[in-house]
Amino acid sequence: MNTKMFEDFHLNEAILRAIRDEGYRQPTDIQGAAIPEILSGKDVMATAQTGTGKTAAFCLPMLHMLHRGKGDAGHGPRALVLTPTRELALQIESSLRAYGRYLPLKTSVVVGGVSITGQIHSLRQKPEIVVATPGRLLDLMRQKQVTLAEIQFLVLDEADRMLDLGFIHDVRSIVSRIPAARQTLLFSATLSPEIAALASDMLKNPVFVATAPPASIAAKIDQKVLFVDQANKGSLLVDILKSSGVQRALVFTRTKHRADRLTRHLSRNGISAGAIHSNKSQNGRQRSLAAFDKGRIMVLVATDIMARGIDVEGISHVINYELPNDAENYVHRIGRTARAGATGIALSFCDASEVEMLKGIERFIRCELPATEEHAFHSTAAASLRNPSPRPAQWRSFGPRGRFGRRSGRV
Ligand code: AMP
């Protein structure tokens, strides 16, 4: 447990004031571990999930150091934050705006899917910080609208997701244009061999900072699995959403098509819902997120790509309408509830075809998810696949020891 206070880091008073405005009382574990290392100028490789306060862990020291070195400013940006998704980039920008509200530092966001003209205009205002997704940044570099020659800080956020999404070549090409004399911070939810290789290429003598493994993140989330046949999932979801206790629910599907169909199903049943996935325009996604954030819709239906970009407070329930193929995504999905110390409920619907996925998730989080039968659509068929019932007594003599192996045990 971290016992430090933000004041212990000797951050600029303007930043401390902004943190107080945000209502943060104490650094989170990742902040307590990473901020002093970053302030001392070291490269940092941090494994931290979203929801642990990792954004502030790099934004606060970065703002402090950029402000202190303001006299060095030339024409180009001094800090670059690379992120895998547009949503995450926009959230980092809004965090930077909040934490830097009393500092004269400018930030530009450079992301695909929206007009490039406004971004070119913003870059001409000489921002100190650029938050970018790799593809659009490369476009702007090719058009000579931005130079990275003065970058002192490079942050690679959610580096594992960047690799998953195939951005590695873009990232390497961007990093090759940044001066070697820089401070590099790499954040990743997991430490795979690929991430370790990336870190060894891009970081110099990094300090390793790790926070609690996924299993303990999940500890403050009340997780349950509900066995249900595929055909009954829609009705079960409506039942749950109409029950009291659900304030704001984030529902996950594996496909965009299913997300859209489910959203229509909920609307037909009088439940206000919106969908967010990569086929929606950037504006459409922002509209749905804002409606969810402001409480105009109760349910947001999302796909996995979107999971990490959703930072909405007060999500009481995360519902896995379909289990994720990738066990790690389970942790990212349920991490959208129980943000920053709150508690939350995560319900996973599991049909017969998903039992193997459930077992994969349980291996990954190193605990068995409790099942609940307290609903109208319990599927004993699916449940029995998880824990096959013992063979009937007359079969027992055919066990591994042969037909007669346990004969003496029979009555
Ligand atoms: P992140 O892991 O960066 O996505 O942050 C998750 C949430 O925690 C965000 O809503 C932050 O505003 C919030 N947060 C970050 N640091 C703190 C802190 N020290 N105390 C309370 N909330 C925090």
Query: Is 407 a domain residue?
Result: no
Closest CA to 234 of 322, 156, 325, 359: 322
Confidence of residue 403 (pLDDT cuts 50, 70, 90): very low
Ligand 1 and 32: CB distance under 6 A: no
SS3 21: helix
Ligand 1 and 27: CB distance under 6 A: yes
From the alpha carbon of 313, which atom of ligand 1 is closest?
10
Please tell me the distance between residue 340's alpha carbon and the centre of ligand 1 in angstroms: 5
**Do 193 and 141 fall into the same domain?**
yes
Query: Is 408 a domain residue?
Result: no
Please tell me the distance between residue 56's alpha carbon and the centre of ligand 1 in angstroms: 7
- For residue 96, what is the DSSP state? H
Which of 1, 19, 21, 28 gets mutated to test ligand 1 (max ligand atoms within 8 A of its CB)? 28
Query: Is 29 a domain residue?
Result: yes
**CATH code at position 26:** 3.40.50.300
Over residues 262-269, the mean pLDDT reads 96
Percentage of the chain with pLDDT > 70? 89
Looking at mean pLDDT, say which of 98-107, 163-172, 271-280 comes out highest. 98-107
From the alpha carbon of 24, which atom of ligand 1 is closest?
20
What pLDDT score was predicted for residue 411? 25
* Structural domain boundaries enclosing 234: 221-384
Which residues partner with 348 through β-bridges? Answer: 225, 320
**Do 101 and 206 fall into the same domain?**
yes
**Do 308 and 250 fall into the same domain?**
yes
CA 149/CA 232 separation, integer angstroms: 57
> 344-350 and 299-302 as β-strands: parallel, antiparallel, unpaired?
unpaired
**Do 205 and 229 fall into the same domain?**
no
Ligand 1 and 211: CB distance under 6 A: no
Query: Is 323 a domain residue?
Result: yes
Of 210, 236, 270, the last residue of a domain is 210
In total, how many domains does the chain have?
2
Question: Ligand 1: which residue has its CA nearest to atom 16?
Answer: 53
**Do 59 and 198 fall into the same domain?**
yes
**Do 189 and 320 fall into the same domain?**
no
Q: Is residue 73 pLDDT above 80, yes or no?
A: no
Please tell me the distance between residue 378's alpha carbon and the centre of ligand 1 in angstroms: 37
**Do 183 and 292 fall into the same domain?**
no
Which of 22, 63, 81, 185 gets mutated to test ligand 1 (max ligand atoms within 8 A of its CB)? 22
What pLDDT score was predicted for residue 406? 32
Q: Is residue 25 pLDDT above 80, yes or no?
A: yes
Percentage of the chain with pLDDT > 90? 60
Of 166, 187, 210, the last residue of a domain is 210
Ligand 1 and 206: CB distance under 6 A: no
Over residues 1-24, the mean pLDDT reads 90
> 221-227 and 317-320 as β-strands: parallel, antiparallel, unpaired?
unpaired
Over residues 328-346, the mean pLDDT reads 77
Of 210, 242, 261, the last residue of a domain is 210
Q: Which residue has the tokens 């990275």?
A: 148
pTM (2 decimals)?
Answer: 0.61
**Do 267 and 296 fall into the same domain?**
yes
What pLDDT score was predicted for residue 90? 94
**Do 204 and 228 fall into the same domain?**
no
